[in-house]
Chain A
Amino acid sequence: MSLPRVLILGLLKFAEDKVSELLDDIAEVIRVDATNRAEFFAGLQPSGKYAGAVGLYRHWDSAAVTGPFDKELIDKLSTSVKWIAGTAVGYEMIDIAACKEHGILYSNTPGSVDVSTATTALYLIISTMRHFSKADRDLHAGKWKHGHKAAGLHDLEGHTLAILGLGDIGLHLATFVRPFGMRVVYHNRKPNPDAPEWCEYFPAERLDEMLALTDVLSVHIPLRTETIGFVGERMIRKLKKGAIIVNTARGKIIDEDAMIRALDDGHLAGIGLDVYPNEPEVNPRLLEFPNAALLPHMGGDSADAQRKLETRALVAARDYLTTGTSKDVVPELR
């Protein structure tokens, strides 16, 4: 009896060494070498080279070849494919409803970018509290400490970090800032049972209280219909004057116009962003503010995070092959 056929879509750049280790004994591994969507579809035909695959390992970088994993594509997979192991945390580009319709399981890689994202948030917090971004830029422009006033620059010690959404990423961030002597407060729909006792919980009815004592607000909630613009005019104005907002979650969670107004009138003293509403576009207004630290969605862009991501999806593939399912199947398909 031949081994089940598994397709690998996209290139593993960090965990290639784990492919044979995890899959060779239980699957026939085929690398998809299609260079575009049409070629991929052709290969999926009954006589094509990818026909009869039971599972698909989908690296996020394959989107450039196949285009989105929409209904059309998933319909074509459905003749034999039973599961997709995705390497990515977000799965907005996967038509989950179409997967459900065909009984195809889809797993993501939760947790893989937690540490790298929390590290990115810490970097943005330090940068904006200390105005390092502008100082670095000024130095490169030949100006040493230009227009610089220590008055607006602060140590982290003795200041308050508010984490909006204390999940795994928020918990890592809390651990990272603890040695700085920051007070850590958080808001969640419900208190996090894994939160250390020094993380102070503020429920919805005390959210305004939390915002009023916040020096830095760091956003760590997922983007859903109900969280679009969650950090809006009202919430921003409830923050104390001179507060800073850091966002490593999703751009659309913040009402960008409200944020820009608050920067214009000085209500916000700075922003640290890794994400934007319509990447890779960056609102040119943001570049005008001296205390804006702006990164191009690099929260998960470290060799360590990418290796975790690629490996985790390989483990999911192995689990699918050996048990029929994976613990990483997304909530919508469980």
Chain B
Amino acid sequence: MPRVLLCGDLVWAHKECEEMFKGIAEVVPLTSPDRADFIAGLQPGGKYDSIVGMFYQHTSARFIGPLNAELIGALAVSVKWIAHNGAGYDQVDVQACKAHGIYVSNTPGAVDYGTATTALYLLISAMRRFSSAERAVRSGSWKTLHKAKFAHDLEGHTLAILGMGGVGLRLAQYVHAFPMRVIYHNRNKVANAPDWIEYYPAERLDEMLAEADVLSVHVPLRKETTGLVDETMIRKLKQGAVIINTARGKVIDEEAMIRALEDRHLGAIGLDVYPNEPEVNPRLLEFPNAILLPHMGTETLDSQKRMEVRALTNLRDYLTKGAGADIIPELR
């Protein structure tokens, strides 16, 4: 029977894993305390000998370090499929995988509900100024400092989505109930987007930014999206606009965003992600209208289980059909 590795703990889907691989593959756990032990285990006769695929959970980096070129080079001795648990895979050296003929799948879709809900929470909190209000209750000052003038409901306001993938579409559905007007920018128009969502191509991006009350970031982190939301883009937003980021911290130029909070060009920000987690720039903590969550987008039993099952399914499909459904775009 082929052998596969659980590189990082399965937290929820143990039963599903057993059922999925019964009679199909031997599932081997990661037992290495460091990279050297891991690489040794990959050699013929080692504990990970001949593994053809692996479920990859990024928490394993604590023991064996990140999935960089060196590690991928070592995996290449037998591994042909890496089933990455998580939609964002910016930590994986995709070029190294390509060079060694190793396929990588991620878990799109599984993260949509949890992440879009987080984005909506940040959006409501920012527009209604709830975060500072909660702090006021806990410090005993009730709502003396809160002014309704700066608190807005969603109806009649415009949400601009930067990157209309699964998460963006789900968020659009959520805000449509109020309704917010939804406009978006994507490299290409999204065919299955509902007709009440308006597309703005690159040549009309400035127009989109000027009409947005809220800009929500939903692009993956790549070289070309690093610092995409920069000084220029931020200044094209209207005064008092709100930025929400549940994608990756590095997509926004943090210094530019902080400057825009200082001079009140931005009315508020809602962040779930930061450039160098778990570090949070202490300057952000100074702004009462900065709502900050510690990368909670998929921190629920439901989302995590769904993601694990999706990753395991990709791995199983590789073994039984030759390929999983969620090969990342770079390797298709």
Contact = CB atoms under 8 A, between A and B. Distances in A.
B152 interface: yes
Interface in A112-158: 115-116, 119-120, 122-123, 126-127, 129-130, 132-133, 135-140, 144-145, 148, 150-158
Contacts of A303: 148-152
A280 B142 contact: yes
A298 B146 CA distance: 9
A179 B294 contact: no
A286 B330 CA distance: 50
A283 to B, nearest CB: 11
Contacts of A150: 11, 299-301, 304
Contacts of A294: 134, 137-138
A236 B271 CA distance: 35
B294 A139 contact: yes
Main secondary structure of the interface of B (DSSP, over half): helix
A317 to B, nearest CB: 21
Contacts of A181: 113
A181 to B, nearest CB: 8
Contacts of B149: 13-14, 303
A155 B303 contact: yes
Interface residues of A, number: 54
Contacts of A297: 143
A154 B142 CA distance: 29
Given A155-B300, A157-B302, A282 B137 contact: yes
B303 to A, nearest CB: 6
A75 B172 CA distance: 54
Contacts of A148: 299
Nearest to A156: B117
Given A295-B130, A302-B152, A157 B113 contact: yes
B130 A132 contact: no
A235 interface: no
Given A179-B173, A293-B134, A296-B137, A135 B294 contact: yes
A277 B308 CA distance: 44
B292 interface: yes
Interface string B289-320: 00111111001111110000000000000000
Q: Which 3 A-B pairs have the closest CB atoms?
A: A144-B278, A296-B143, A280-B142
16 contacts: A119-B128, A119-B154, A126-B120, A127-B121, A130-B300, A132-B118, A135-B293, A148-B299, A154-B300, A156-B113, A158-B302, A293-B134, A296-B136, A296-B142, A302-B128, A302-B151
